[in-house]
Amino acid sequence: MKNINRDLSLGECVVIYPPIANKFNKMQLDYYCGGDKNLRDALNEKGIDIDKFIEDVNVELEEFEFDNIMYINWKKKSSGELINHIVNTHHVKTLELLREIDPLLLKVFRVHYNHSPQSLKRIYRLFQSLKCRLEEHIIKEEVVLFPKMLEFNDNLVDDENKLSQRDNINNKEGKAKLREEMKDLMFEHKIKDELKVFKEEHKVRSEMKDRKHEHDTIKYILKELAEITGNYTAPKWACDSLKLLYVKMQELEKELFIYMHEESNILFKRY
C-alpha cells in the first residue's frame, strides 16, 4: 500500500488510510468537498509540523495494514460494489440518525427554549434544512444517479463483449463474412455508439454535478451547526437529552464526512 506523503491531496490520504479522517476532523480540515487541497498546504495553514505528522501517520499506517485484514479499499472495488455499499451503509445510517435526532431536537427545543432561544432556533432551523436536503439527496441518488451510473457501466461492458465475440471468430470464412456485413455499417454504428456513450455520460455527469452542489450546501450547514454548538460542546446547564442530542449530531457529521468523501473522492471521479 502507498505511504502518506506531503503532495497527496487530503482526499487521497483518506482513501489510503481511512482513520486519518479522524485527525482531519479534529483539525477541521475538509477532505470531502475540499479534498483536492494537498496535505502540505493544509497542514501549513494549521501551523502543524508536516514531517512529524507524516512520520507518525505512516507508522500508524503500517500497524493498520497489519491489524486490519478486514479493511476494504473501496478504490479497488467496482462502482457497483461501492454504490451498493453507499446505499446499504451510508444511506441507511444517515436516515437512521435523522430519525433519532429529529424528535430529540424538538424535545430539547421545547424544554430549553428559554435558556438560549436564539441559538436553539438557529440549530432547529439548520437541522430541518439539513434533514430535508439529505432525504432528497439520498432519494435522487437511489432513483436517478446510481441507476444511470450502473446502466452506463453495463453498456460499456456490453460493447466490450461484442468486440470480444467478434475477435474470437477463428475461421477465415466467418471473419470474411462478418467483415463484409459490417463494412457498410461500420461508420454509421461507430457514430451512433459514440453518440450513445456521450449522451449517457452527459446524463451521469449532469446528475453528478447536481449532487456535488448538494454536497457543498450540506457542508455549509454542517459548518454552521458545528460553529453554533461549539463543535457539539454541551453547555453547563445541559440535561441528558441535550447531551445525547449533541452526541448524535456529531455522529451524523462524522458519518456524512465519510459518505461524501467516498462519493466525491472515489465514485464520482470515475465518471
* Planar angle of CA 264, 231, 111, nearest 5 degrees: 120
Are 206 and 167 found together in one domain?
yes
Higher pLDDT, 265 or 164: 265
Looking at residue 172, its pLDDT comes to 58
| Residue 159 scores a pLDDT above 50 | no
Residue 240 has pLDDT above 70, yes or no: yes
Residue 72 belongs to a domain: no
Calpha distance 99→105 (Å, rounded):
10
The answer on 119 and 39 residing in a single domain is no
Structural domain boundaries enclosing 213: 77-270
Same domain, 164 and 56: no
CB atoms within 10 A of CB 42: 22
Residue 3 domain-assigned? Answer: no
**Across 131-160, average pLDDT:** 83
Q: How many residues does the chain have?
A: 271
In-domain check, residue 32:
yes
The pLDDT-based confidence of 208 (bands split at 50, 70, 90) is: confident
Over range 119-141, report the average pLDDT.
96
Residue 239: phi and psi, rounded to 5, are -90, 180
Q: Is 247 contained in some domain? A: yes
List, in order, residues 6 or more apart from 65 with CB less than 8 Å away.
1, 71
Q: For residue 19, name the pLDDT band (cuts at 50, 70, 90).
A: confident
Q: How many CB atoms lie within 10 A of CB 24?
A: 20
**How many Å apart are CA 140 and CA 214, to the nearest integer?**
11
Residue at 5 is within a domain: no
Instruction: Give how many domains the chain has, as a whole number.
Output: 2
Higher-confidence position of 242 and 237: 242
- Could you tell me if residue 1 is inside a domain? no
**Cβ partners under 8 Å of residue 226, min gap 6:** 28, 232, 253
Which of 38, 67, 96 terminates a domain? The answer is 67
- 52 Cβ contact list (under 8 Å, min separation 6): none
- In tens, the pLDDT along 59-106 reads 988 877 666 655 788 888 999 999 999 999 999 999 999 999 999 999
Using CA atoms, how far apart are residues 5 and 35, in angstroms rounded to an integer? 15
- Domain end among 67, 94, 114: 67
Res 49 pLDDT > 50 = yes
User: Is position 171 within any domain?
Assistant: yes
Query: Residues 151, 110: one domain?
Result: yes
- Domain assignment present for residue 178? The answer is yes
Say what the pLDDT of residue 34 is.
54
Q: Which of 67, 85, 107 is the last residue of a domain?
A: 67
124 plus 36 within the same structural domain: no
The answer to whether residues 25 and 84 belong to one domain is no
Does residue 60 sit in the same domain as residue 86?
no
- 221 and 242 belong to one structural domain: yes
Whether residue 53 is found in the same domain as residue 164:
no
Helix (H, G, I), strand (E, B) or coil at 194: helix
In this prediction, residue 160 carries a pLDDT of: 47
Residues 88 and 173 in one domain: yes
E-assigned strand segments in 16-159: none
Element (DSSP H or E) covering residue 140: helix 117-140
Give how far Cα 234 sits from Cα of 24, 47, 66, 115, 268, Å.
22, 28, 38, 13, 36
Q: Report whether 14 contacts 20 (CB < 8 A).
A: yes
Are 60 and 85 in the same domain? no
**112 and 47 in a common domain:** no
The candidate with the shortest Cα–Cα distance to 270, out of 156, 159, 112, 99, is 156
Are the C-beta atoms of residues 211 and 141 closer than 8 Å to each other?
Answer: yes
